[in-house]
Structure 1
């Protein structure tokens, strides 16, 4: 019985497989050096969420969610992990942030600097119009 490939072609195929396996080993070694990001939110992150939810600028839905967390119905960890995603109150609170997320996504797609996008989403202090100075001084005239 004769083999359908000649010896030269067979050797070339074996060399190709060996090279690919060597590359797999190399990529595997490199991948093992990569440090994975932390999964989930830290306690500091959850505390910041809680602080924002109790803040005066928090939407009504988020304040209601904070009240439920305070009452022990669920935790911020339950919400962050997705365990409470089916809860209507969680969905309502999360939906209040969707317009801001869409705005940020659009700005990033347009090539805006990420730090500028974050800053533009923060509420301004002082409550005045953007065109008006927040205070007047004699030298401003």
Structure 2
């Protein structure tokens, strides 16, 4: 990083530049090694099955309002449930609202983890907002509920 006229640089600045240069070289070396590292194939995602679960959840009487808004758009033919779950409808404001709600739940869960809560405590705290006393364990795991969204 030095230039012919860098006499103005302090020893601390020179040391910092040397550290930046070393870290940059490390990053380049790592990137070069990763280029040659084969990655395992990504398993296919069954968007159709996920879409069916979301569609069932959207049809429930106590479905969240954001999900009901998406159902109205799907029913109107604006897009399909597969478009929603595969990301093809990601630019839609209602899809974004649902995604933002999910991000908020993940942030909340992460904060709870940092505070020392267990996964079970977090699941109970973020549990479904549905009545009936079902904590999700008694239900068929293939049945979509809001807490699995």
Q: TM-score, normalised by structure 1?
A: 0.51
**In the superposition, relative to structure 1, how do residues 42 and 125 fare at CA in structure 2: closer, same or farther (>3 Å)?**
same
Unaligned runs of 5+ in 1: 1-23, 128-141
Q: CA RMSD in A?
A: 3.1
Unaligned runs of 5+ in 2: 1-32, 134-149
Q: Secondary structure of 1:56's partner?
A: coil
**In the superposition, relative to structure 1, how do residues 102 and 53 fare at CA in structure 2: closer, same or farther (>3 Å)?**
farther
> For each residue in 1:33-79, what CA deviation from the matched residue of structure 2 results, as whole angstroms up to 9, or x when unmatched?
x4x34243443222111122222332212201112112321012212
Task: Map residues 10-29 of structure 1 onto 2, 5 A cutoff.
Answer: none
**In the superposition, relative to structure 1, how do residues 41 and 96 fare at CA in structure 2: closer, same or farther (>3 Å)?**
same
Quote the residue 2:51 is aligned against.
46
Quote the residue 1:99 is aligned against.
104
**In the superposition, relative to structure 1, how do residues 104 and 39 fare at CA in structure 2: closer, same or farther (>3 Å)?**
farther
> Contact 1:59/1:96 (CA < 8 Å) preserved in 2?
no
Q: Secondary structure of 1:96's partner?
A: helix
Quote the offset at 1:105 in angstroms.
2.3
Q: Distance in 1 between matches of 2:105 and 2:115?
A: 15
Aligned length: 99
Quote the residue 1:62 is aligned against.
67
> Contact 2:47/2:85 (CA < 8 Å) preserved in 1?
no
**In the superposition, relative to structure 1, how do residues 114 and 42 fare at CA in structure 2: closer, same or farther (>3 Å)?**
farther
> Contact 1:104/1:117 (CA < 8 Å) preserved in 2?
yes
> Contact 1:41/1:80 (CA < 8 Å) preserved in 2?
no
Q: TM-score, normalised by structure 2?
A: 0.49
Q: Distance in 2 between matches of 1:108 and 1:47?
A: 31
